[in-house]
Chain A
């Protein structure tokens, strides 16, 4: 398989963020969005294709985790936190 292109990485980034926003628990949702942004930002200057592929593979596994855990969280969702109605949805 050809090394992941910039477009594929960006696509993965957007997909992960989109999925993470579906966490019903405030703390999980904010953590996932924040962590994904920080992790992609931290690694944005990596040049070595092998390293890039390793990171992309890990991100794909994490995306799988996020999807499953978002779903489980929705099955067992509970009331919102006291601050959730106060501010706009953001990290």
Chain B
């Protein structure tokens, strides 16, 4: 909260200082202004100070929060936002038919990525809605002997991969439904709903370089998994999710899934190398850095590091040229440390010092190197200012200190 408020104040001050721009209106928040010789084209009609130079945007290292659209995805979507604007449920004319064809093509693309049948894919507004549909199934079919296991495939805060195939096998043998929220995993690690005995799966568009506002829920047909619709209406999506299916968005989701299927191996190899580079370079230059999460069962693109004796929020503010996070976006408004870190038994003080680095398809080696350089620089600087660090350097064991009770 404090971070955002301070940044908004700074951004307003900066945009007030810069004069009118001649180019297309930029709506991005400016972070820094670099002083430079004034541009010639723009007449200085405002009474402001000498024209400041170009404003520079931070690097994006927060792919767990959301991902940029892959250009191939936008290219697939645009025709449906320009000319092919029919309602896919209109049965009586070509606009409807072409829109429906696109929707079904997208359904096949999503199904193909996870080894499912297209009839098992229901489009939703995102993984959250998909999760709600899947969990509500429990309430719909509540019997003494039915239950539901719900597990995240890849954790969004520390990147740990759950043993999905083993869990699936256990659930299947006990006749228990198995749901997984695969938002961070789909298209990044191989998933097959039949091999892993998954009954329900949530998929999110904007985590796999697709558009925001769309997702899907996979619902097994054999053996049939019954779900109750969350929203009622015209009975679309086999009655499981009423509402006009947003063709441009689902086309984007389908395209994102298809690209992910093609690029999975290439991306995984590259992201693994970059992750290794980031971790090694930070750890060889800084002592007392802990990586959170099981290193063996870990998705490389999500790196959560705790820097001892440094407060996470202050490190984030110091790294203002890099877009990072200290935990999941969905809980970032509160000041409490991550529930995930608490659950894996991280010390309270280390939990407050954690930063999550996200490496994705578009991350470059330069970006990783810059992030590492700034991280090392600011951790050293913050530690210099830290009395705890000073005590540790003097050989004091912090655990032995009796802090007074107030």
Q: Which A residues are closer than 8 A to B by beta carbons?
A: 23, 26-28, 30-32, 35, 38, 62, 65-66, 68-69, 72-73, 75-87, 91
Contact = CB atoms under 8 A, between A and B. Distances in A.
Contacts of B72: 62, 65
Nearest to A90: B366
Contacts of B370: 82-83, 86
B26 A82 contact: no
B75 A65 contact: yes
A77 B27 CA distance: 10
Given A65-B75, A66-B71, A69-B75, A79 B30 contact: yes
A78 B75 contact: no
B71 A27 contact: no
Contact of A83 (B26, B59, B361): B59
Given A27-B60, A77-B24, A78-B26, A83 B74 contact: no
Interface residues of B, number: 29
A87 B75 CA distance: 30
Contacts, number: 66
A85 B321 CA distance: 13
Contacts of B75: 65, 68-69
B59 A31 contact: no
A81 B55 CA distance: 9
B386 interface: no
A46 B32 CA distance: 49
B68 interface: yes
Contact of A82 (B59, B266, B362, B364): B59
B136 to A, nearest CB: 38
B56 A81 contact: yes
Contacts of A78: 26, 28, 57
